[in-house]
Structure 1
């Protein structure tokens, strides 16, 4: 049996401690883990206690890693799961960490999707299809994305397409109307706007209104 001989707070990280066993450095660990296990000088480290130490430290490391990652940017459940797996945390620890984040409302796919839809639609220049593709890169479930996109009404998409059409109509004003109309339609189609919306914004009256403005 080995015995704890010293437990000292790390100089550069007060949330971490150095554990010494039988007079020699054994390992670094989170202070919260040391407190939970009641580690103190004179305590005998039984095989069971060593196992608990390893398990709790792994869980604590996964939790701290997840929080640091979320501080940098919001993430979906799938993205966070992948990041934890990439760090080679055991599946059980990954699942427990994810569930803890969800229970604490720290991970919330619905909230993330709604916030991203508001952000991406704020400049009024993206189609619903473009926003869908952007949200998909965040590894959000399709059902969650579709529900968030339901908050974008047809009027918003029309205004976004109309704004872009006006810009291109001005840029290509030296071209004949038909050529300009075709180029604008192609441009909007590439950006994912629906045919019905494109047809509305390239209407003769819509483009003429911009020319005379």
Structure 2
């Protein structure tokens, strides 16, 4: 029957060993496998023994792969499973690895959600909606998601969101009514609810100096008028210009006044 003739430490990995049977290299094993089976030179190993050693070492390699993956940041079952599947680890072994990770508290979905919550609140401008989506994508259970989304909403400072909103507002151009629409869209995309957006907007100053609005209208009038003048003329051109400016949030009376001021109309024209 096969006998272990040599066990040597691998040159490139001191945590693994080369196992020789009857003078021939058989397989590599890790230290835990070596200790678990109490392997030693001159030990007789039958076929069923070798199968157990091989299976256990595959499991240990998968455990080490999972530990290394988790060492970079906290992970969920779903993330670890996907990672091991890419490494072509069998489903049976993956199940055992996940059980090991839970036993050793290497995977804890409550801890994962709490850590992600703290990180996102401190380092991003994203709202609870984005946080919720990240937890879903990571495979966190719905009951945990609901719990930590509620905590996220309670712990994210309102003044921090107002600061984000004011920054966005400064980047938007045009009449304040249009800027508020764009601000709402941006905050929704960042994961904030309509209720929170309203609360934030109640804290903001949306006043806009008349001279600023007048200057913006003049710039937009020139752009829109020149654009449509390539295709239209006369009353059609005027109507298209007015329609285009109204879509941008400018009021009809302001547009007519600016058209008259620019000499484009004489005050009698109306939109058809």
State the distance in 1 between where 2:50 and 2:146 align: 48
Of residues 180-189 and 18-27 in structure 1, the stretch that sits farther from structure 2 once superposed is 180-189
State the distance in 1 between where 2:155 and 2:179 align: 24
Higher relative contact order at CA 8 Å, sep ≥6: structure 1 or structure 2? 1
State the distance in 1 between where 2:47 and 2:107 align: 35
**CA displacement at 1:86 relative to structure 2:** 3.2
Partner of residue 61, structure 1: 61
**CA displacement at 1:88 relative to structure 2:** 3.0
**Structure 2 runs not aligned, ≥5 long:** 210-272
Residues 4 and 22 in structure 2, CA contact (< 8 A), matched pair in contact too? yes
**CA displacement at 1:67 relative to structure 2:** 0.8
- Which of the two has higher C-alpha Rg? 2
Residues 169 and 207 in structure 1, CA contact (< 8 A), matched pair in contact too? no
Residues 59 and 93 in structure 1, CA contact (< 8 A), matched pair in contact too? yes
Partner of residue 13, structure 1: 13
Deviations 1:46-96 (A, max 9, x none): 122112211211121111111111112221012112322333333332222
State the distance in 2 between where 1:156 and 1:31 align: 47
State the distance in 2 between where 1:208 and 1:176 align: 10
Residues 18 and 27 in structure 1, CA contact (< 8 A), matched pair in contact too? yes
Residues 125 and 164 in structure 1, CA contact (< 8 A), matched pair in contact too? yes
Residues 125 and 163 in structure 1, CA contact (< 8 A), matched pair in contact too? no
Residues 3 and 43 in structure 1, CA contact (< 8 A), matched pair in contact too? yes
Report SS of the residue matched to 1:184.
Answer: helix
Residues 7 and 41 in structure 1, CA contact (< 8 A), matched pair in contact too? yes
Residues 124 and 160 in structure 1, CA contact (< 8 A), matched pair in contact too? no
Residues 125 and 190 in structure 2, CA contact (< 8 A), matched pair in contact too? no
Deviations 1:19-61 (A, max 9, x none): 1111111111113212222222212221221122112111211
**Structure 1 runs not aligned, ≥5 long:** none
